[in-house]
């Protein structure tokens, strides 16, 4: 790895790598096969104290996005779903840290850091997909708070979350544009708030995603995150800062797929020689290694920019590049790895098809890679950030 890491970061990487190899990898196939939430893996991450890793020392963290990407990469190398558990804890934590009141921070953040609470964030709707500005869920102001009405889809972790950060349009039907979107902390058990069925997904199977239904669900004023109607910027800030973490999941998947393919071809014989001795196979492996390393360096550049506190305007394009390139690389590497496995690659007896399915998911979630390309192009052409 061509990264200049601090001693603490090296220690984090080595610890998580060892845990991933010894305790996470043996569970990965079963988590994928059963599509059951891996509570034991959540408990393991809590035991290791990783839930506060990206955040200030006051919450038990290292205040380092680079360290967080290292943890995600090493876990993702063995098990996409276990790595995902960290991200699902970090995104709502980051949103509340960035836009919450002091009371909200004190109420939620220590318990999120300790793994005593679980959160989720929900912006996607059936008609708008990646278009956050097209949200139709309504938040009508009433005495003491807001009443939310609408529906959401693909809300990951909502089946078990103690609260969901819901993006909704503030005001009546005339409210237009991104400026009227608010972010609301909707707690489990709120009357009128229903979590729907779990989606039967191709990949990322161990952490369910569900539809949400809000029917006049009351959210008290103390659960409004930031200023009402100004949640769009907060949502975008949260997504921008989390994109290196999505990229790190891509790097982990690509590295894991390369590891498996290398081991497979070194232990197979064909036409009187090892499969790894064929030039075509060697070149495929070389391309996989180059793509993975290029993705790794771009992801950690973006992570280092977050740690350096660069402006969101400066970060947006590089964060989008890191997510887009790394997840596209993961898909390409996983596809080539399946090819190197031959017929074994399409058998559920071998783990490589799991990497292929999970990599495809990464090209779509957290803003499709087409949306990332729009962000990059807007920056190049001097247009307003999306």
**Which positions are catalytic?**
366
Contacts with 142 (C-beta within 8 Å, 6 or more apart), sequence order: 218
Q: What is the greatest pairwise CA distance in the chain?
A: 80
Alpha-helical segments (H) within 124-230 = none
Give the SS3 label for residue 142: strand
Nearest of 148, 185, 193 to residue 168 by alpha carbon: 148
Is the distance from CB of 312 to CB of 331 less than 8 angstroms? Answer: no
Nearest of 154, 187, 185 to residue 168 by alpha carbon: 185
Is the distance from CB of 122 to CB of 155 less than 8 angstroms? Answer: yes
Rounded to 10 degrees, the C-alpha dihedral 334/337/343/347 comes to: -50
Distances from the Cα of 370 to the Cαs of 23, 24, 377, in angstroms?
36, 32, 11
CA-based torsion, 207, 153, 386, 234: positive or negative? negative
Q: What are phi and psi of 146, to 5 degrees?
A: -140, 155
Give the integer Cα–Cα distance in Å for 190 and 216.
Answer: 10
Q: Could you give the angle at the alpha carbon of 363 between the alpha carbons of 367 and 184, nearest 5°?
A: 30
Angle, in degrees to the nearest 10, between helices 65-78 and 231-266: 40
E-only strand ranges, the chain: 119-122, 138-142, 145-156, 163-170, 181-187, 193-198, 209-220, 224-225, 269-270, 273-274
Q: Checking DSSP bridges between strand 163-170 and strand 119-122, what pairing results, if any?
A: parallel
Nearest of 328, 336, 331, 324 to residue 287 by alpha carbon: 336
Is the distance from CB of 69 to CB of 245 less than 8 angstroms? Answer: yes
Token reading at 75: 């876990």
């Amino acid at each position: 790895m061509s990264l200049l890491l601090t001693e603490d970061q090296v220690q984090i990487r080595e610890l998580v790598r060892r845990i991933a190899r010894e305790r996470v990898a043996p569970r990965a196939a079963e988590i994928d096969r059963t599509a059951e939430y891996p509570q034991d893996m959540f408990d393991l991450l809590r035991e290791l104290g990783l839930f506060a890793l990206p955040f200030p020392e006051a919450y038990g963290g290292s205040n380092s996005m680079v360290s967080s990407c290292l943890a995600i990469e090493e876990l993702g190398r063995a098990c996409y779903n276990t790595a995902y558990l960290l991200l699902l804890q970090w995104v709502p934590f980051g949103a509340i840290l960035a836009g919450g009141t002091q009371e909200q921070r004190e109420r939620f953040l220590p318990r999120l850091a300790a793994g005593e609470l679980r959160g989720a964030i929900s912006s996607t709707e059936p008609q708008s997909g990646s278009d956050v500005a097209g949200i139709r869920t309504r938040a009508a102001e009433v005495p003491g708070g807001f009443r939310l009405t609408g529906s959401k889809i693909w809300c990951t972790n909502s089946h078990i979350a103690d609260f969901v950060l819901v993006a909704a349009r503030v005001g009546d039907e005339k409210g237009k544009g991104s400026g009227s979107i608010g972010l609301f902390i909707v707690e489990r058990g709120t009357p009128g708030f229903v979590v729907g069925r779990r989606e039967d997904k191709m990949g990322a199977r161990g952490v369910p995603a569900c539809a949400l239904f809000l029917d006049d669900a009351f959210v008290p004023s103390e659960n409004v995150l930031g200023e009402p109607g100004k949640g769009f910027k907060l949502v975008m800030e949260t997504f921008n800062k989390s994109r290196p973490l999505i990229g790190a999941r891509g790097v982990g998947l690509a590295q894991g797929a390369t590891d498996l393919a290398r081991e497979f071809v070194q232990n197979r014989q064909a036409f009187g020689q090892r499969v790894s001795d064929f030039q075509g196979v060697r070149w495929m492996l070389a391309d996989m290694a180059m793509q993975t390393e290029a993705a790794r360096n771009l992801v950690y550049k973006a992570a280092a920019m977050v740690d350096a506190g660069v402006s969101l305007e400066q970060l947006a394009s590089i964060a989008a590049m890191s997510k887009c390139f790394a997840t596209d690389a993961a898909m390409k590497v996983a596809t080539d790895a399946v090819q190197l496995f031959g017929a074994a690659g399409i058998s559920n007896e071998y783990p490589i098809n799991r990497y292929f399915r999970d990599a495809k998911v990464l090209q779509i979630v957290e803003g499709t890679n087409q949306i990332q390309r729009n962000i990059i192009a807007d920056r190049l052409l001097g247009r307003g950030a999306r």
